[in-house]
Structure 1
Amino acid sequence: MGTTGRRIGAGTVIVLVLLVAAAACIVGGVLPAPDAEALGLRIAPVLGFVVAITIVAELARDAAVFDVLSQGLARAGRGRVIALWGAVVALAVVSTVFLSLDTTAVIVTPVVVVLAQSVGVNPLPFALATVWLANTASLALPVSNLTNLLAAQRIGGDAVSFLALSWAPTLVGIAIPVAVLTLRHRRALFGAYRVPSPALPADRVLFWSAAAVLLALLPLLAVVPEVWIPATAAAAVLVVLFAVRRRHVLRLSLVPWRALALAGALFVLVETAHARGLLHFLDVLATSGDGLGPLLGLAASGALAANGVNNLPAYLILEPAAQSPVALMALLIGVNLGPLVTPWASLATLLWHHRVVSLGVPVRWGPFMAWGALVAVSTVAVAAAVLWLVSG
C-alpha cells in the first residue's frame, strides 16, 4: 500500500524559512522587545485590513459580482473592442484603487481573460492591463497597496492627505501603461466582437447582497482613517450571508495565510536589520523631498530595489531615507509603479502569472520584462516629476 505525498512548492519553502528566521530574531532577542512591540502595534491593523479585504473580494467573486459586472461591461461596449478595452481598464483601476492590487491580479484578471476569450478577442492585452494597472494604479489611496498603508500615517493619517500627493502621479501611472498597451496592441483593440447574452447569477439574493456590501464599503475606504474597521465589518456581513445561503464556500483558505506569513516575516527581518544598524549605509539616500533630483533618486532607488528583491522589503528598507511626506510619496512611486520588470518584483505579478497561464494565455518573460522596463522607467520618472510639480 503506497501513500501519495503532497509537494511543497518553492514559494512555500521560502516563506517557511523566512518565518523561522523572523521567529528566531524575536525569540532570541536579536530584535529588541520594545522594537518588536512597536512593530506589532504598527502592522496589526495593516494585516487585519489585508485579511478582511481579501475575504470581501473572494466572497464577492463567489457571489458572481465580478462576473456579472464584466458581462455588463461587454454588453455596454456594443461589439467595439476599444470600448470593451476602456471598460476593462476602468474596472482594473477601480478594483486596484479600492480593493487593492492583489484583488485585481487574482480576481479581476481571470474574469476579464475569460470574458475576452468568450467574445473572440485576443486576451493578452487585457491580461497585461490587469497586471500593469494592479501595480501602477495602486498609488492612489492607502488601501490600494500594503506599502501605502505603511506610509499613510507618516503622510497625514487620512485618505485626503494621501490623495493630495498621490492623485497626479497616479494619473501618470494609469495613462502611460494604458497608452503603451493601446499602441502596441492597436490591431486587436480596434476591431469588433460578438456581444454576449446577459449573465444571471445563480443566487440573486446573494449577488445583490454582496453587491450592496461592496457599494457601501468602497466610499468608506476612501474616507475612514482606520480602514480595517469598515473592511472587517463588510467581511463579517458577507460571512454571515454565505453561512446562511452557501456555507460550503466558507473555508480557511479565504484567509491569505502565505501572504500574511511572508509580509509578517519581512516586517520582522527588515526591522531587525534597522534596529541593528545594518542598513545605515542607505543614509546617503535620505531626503526631505524638496528638490526634483532627490525625488527622482529616491523613486529610482525604490524601483530598482523592488525589481531586485520585491516591492514590500524595498519599501521597508528605504523608508527611513524618506524624511518628509513628499519624499515618502516619491518612494511609493518607485516601489508601486516600478515593479513591472522582474517576475518577483511584486507578489501581485506572481499571482497574476499563475492565473493567466492556467487559463491558457502564454506569457513569455523576455518580452514581458523588456516592455515592463520601458514602461517602468518612463512612468516612474514622469510620476516623480509630476509629484515635484504638484507639491512645490
Structure 2
Amino acid sequence: MPHHGGVVLPRAGVPLNTTVAEILAVTLLLAVLAFAVARPRGWPEAVAAVPAAAVVVGAGAVTPAAAWEETRSLLPVVGFLAAVLLLAQMCADEGVFEAAGQAVARACRGRTDRLLGGVFAVAAAVTAVLSLDATVVLLTPVVFATATRLGARSRPHVYACTHLANSASLLLPVSNLTNLLALEASGLSFTRFALVMAPAWLVSIAIEFLVFRRFFAADLAAGTTKPPPAEWPRVPVFALTVLGLTLAGFVVTSLLGLEPAWAAGAGALVLAVRAVARRTTTVRGVVGAAGPLFCLFVLALGVVVQAVLDNGLEAALSRVLPVGTGLPTLLAIAAIAAALANLVNNLPATLALLPIAAEGGPGPVLAVLIGVNLGPNLTYVGSLATLLWRRIVRHHGADADSGLGEFTRLGLLTVPTTLVAATVALWAMLATL
C-alpha cells in the first residue's frame, strides 16, 4: 500500500474497506448537499457533485459498472426533466405566468381570501403540469409582484408557493423529479399514476389551504390598499394551446406504451422554435433553459448515492423499511421517507428508498413518494426547491420570509396531517382499483 503524508492509500483498482467506503461516500454526499444549499458565488450544484462522483468511483466505493448502470437508468428521467424545464421557461417567456397573476389579481376584487385561493389554484396547477421548479422559480416572483400591486401582505401568498411546490407535486409524473423516479419504479402508466394519486393530491391541497387561512389570519385580515387591475390580461393562446396538447400527449404516449418524454420534448421544441424564430431568445438561451448543469448534477448525485447504498445504507434501510401494503405499513413507509428527506434532502432519499420499496409493488413506492414530497415542507433542507424559494423571497424582501421558526411552525401544522391524509387516500385508491 503506498503512503502519502503518513496516510495509507489504496492502490488503484483495490476496493476500499466497506466501513471506510461508507464514510467516504456519506461525507461526499453531505458535502455535495451543503454545496447545493450554499451555492458559493452562485456556482451550479454540478461543480461539487461531478468531482464527488469521480472520487467515489476512483476510490472504489462504487464500481464503474454500478455507476454506469445508475447513470443509464437515470438518463430517461433526466431527459424528461430537461424537457419539462424548457417547457416551463418557454411558457414563462410567452407570458403565461404574468397573465395568471393579473387574472388572479382582478378576480380577487380586493379580497385577500380570494387572492389566497387564486394563488393556491394557480400554484397547484403550475406544479402539477410544469413541475415544482416552475412554481418556485417562475411563479413565486409573479405572486410577490401581484400581492405588492394590490397592497396586500405577501407572506401568505408567497409561502403558498413553496408549500404547494411540494404538496401539489403528487399528481402527475411530470410534477417532480421524484415522481419521475417513482413512475419508473412503480411500473404504472402515466394515466394510472395520476388516477391513483389524485385523491392524495386533492386532500393535501385542501388541508394546506385550511391551515393557511388560520395561520395567516392576521395578514389576510389586513386586506388590500390598492385597486385590482381594471382589465383582464391578454391570454397567451398559442402557449396555452401547446401546453394543452402536451398534456394530451402525455396520455397518448402512456396508452401507446411510449415514454412521456416524447410529448414533453415535442411541446418544448414547438415553443422553443417559435421563440428563436421571433428572436425572443437564442439557441444558447434554449439550451440554458433546459438546465443542463442541473441535469448533470442529478446524474452525478445518483452515483454518489449509489456508493452510499452499496456500502451499508441499503442494507440498513432494508431492515428499517416495513414490508406490505396495509395502511399501517404505508403510513410507516411515508413517515420514514419524510424523515429521511429532512435529513439528507428528498432527492437522495428517493434514490435510496425506491429500490427497496419497489420490491413491494406500487403501494410502497407511492408511499415513499408521499413522504419525500410532503415531508420537505417541514424544514428548509428538505428539498432543493425550498432552498431556492428562500433565496428568491429574500431577494424580493425580508417581509416575505420570517425565518426558520415560522417556516417550521407552519410545517408542523401541515406536514403530519397531510402525510397521514394523503397516505390514507392512497391506501383507499389501491384498495378500490
1:105-124 to 2 correspondences below 5 Å: 105-124=136-155
Secondary structure, aligned partner of 2:125: helix
- The answer as to 2:373 corresponding to 1:336 is yes
- The answer as to 2:130 corresponding to 1:99 is yes
- The answer as to 2:316 corresponding to 1:285 is no
Aligned-partner Cα distance in 2 for 1:48–1:63: 23
Q: 1:289 to 1:196 in 2, by over 3 A?
A: farther
Aligned-partner Cα distance in 1 for 2:280–2:199: 44
Q: 1:369 to 1:261 in 2, by over 3 A?
A: farther
Length-normalised TM-score, structure 2: 0.81
Q: Give the alignment partner of residue 213 of structure 1, picking from 229, 242, 260.
A: 242
8 Å contact from structure 1 (residues 172, 382) kept in 2: yes
1:191-210 to 2 correspondences below 5 Å: 191=223, 194-198=227-231, 207-210=236-239
1:181-192 to 2 correspondences below 5 Å: 181-189=212-220, 191=223
Q: Which runs of 5+ in 2 are unaligned?
A: 1-37
Aligned-partner Cα distance in 2 for 1:117–1:381: 35
Q: Deviations over 1:152-197 (max 9, x none)?
A: 1332331222123312221222111111111122344364562113
1:299-310 to 2 correspondences below 5 Å: 299-310=334-345
Give, as a single letter, the amino acid of the residue that structure 2 aligns with 1:178. F
Partner residue, 2:413: 374
Q: 1:234 to 1:260 in 2, by over 3 A?
A: same
- The answer as to 2:74 corresponding to 1:43 is yes
Give, as a single letter, the amino acid of the residue that structure 2 aligns with 1:309. V
Q: Which runs of 5+ in 1 are unaligned?
A: 1-6
1:295-374 to 2 correspondences below 5 Å: 295-322=330-357, 323-362=360-399, 363=401, 364-374=403-413
Q: Deviations over 1:260-311 (max 9, x none)?
A: 2331122111223334454211112344432222212111111111111100
Aligned-partner Cα distance in 2 for 1:248–1:163: 33
8 Å contact from structure 1 (residues 142, 152) kept in 2: yes
Deviation at 1:258, TM superposition (A): 4.1
8 Å contact from structure 2 (residues 71, 303) kept in 1: no
8 Å contact from structure 2 (residues 87, 264) kept in 1: yes
Deviation at 1:223, TM superposition (A): 5.0
Aligned-partner Cα distance in 1 for 2:123–2:179: 18
Aligned-partner Cα distance in 2 for 1:326–1:288: 10
- Answer with 152-161 or 364-373: which moved more: 152-161
Please say which structure displays the higher CA radius of gyration.
Answer: 2
Identity among equivalent positions (%) equals 36
Q: Deviations over 1:57-81 (max 9, x none)?
A: 1122122121012212222233332
* Count of residues in correspondence between the two structures: 382
Q: Give the alignment partner of residue 234 of structure 1, picking from 267, 282, 291.
A: 267
Q: Deviations over 1:50-106 (max 9, x none)?
A: 111111111221221210122122222333322222221111011111111111111
Question: Which aligned runs of 4 or more in structure 1 are off by greater than 4 angstroms?
Answer: 26-30, 247-250
8 Å contact from structure 1 (residues 217, 234) kept in 2: yes
Give, as a single letter, the amino acid of the residue that structure 2 aligns with 1:49. F
Secondary structure, aligned partner of 1:53: helix
- The answer as to 2:421 corresponding to 1:390 is no
Length-normalised TM-score, structure 1: 0.89
Aligned-CA RMSD value: 2.5
Deviation at 1:352, TM superposition (A): 1.1
Partner residue, 1:3: none
Aligned-partner Cα distance in 1 for 2:228–2:189: 42
Secondary structure, aligned partner of 1:279: helix
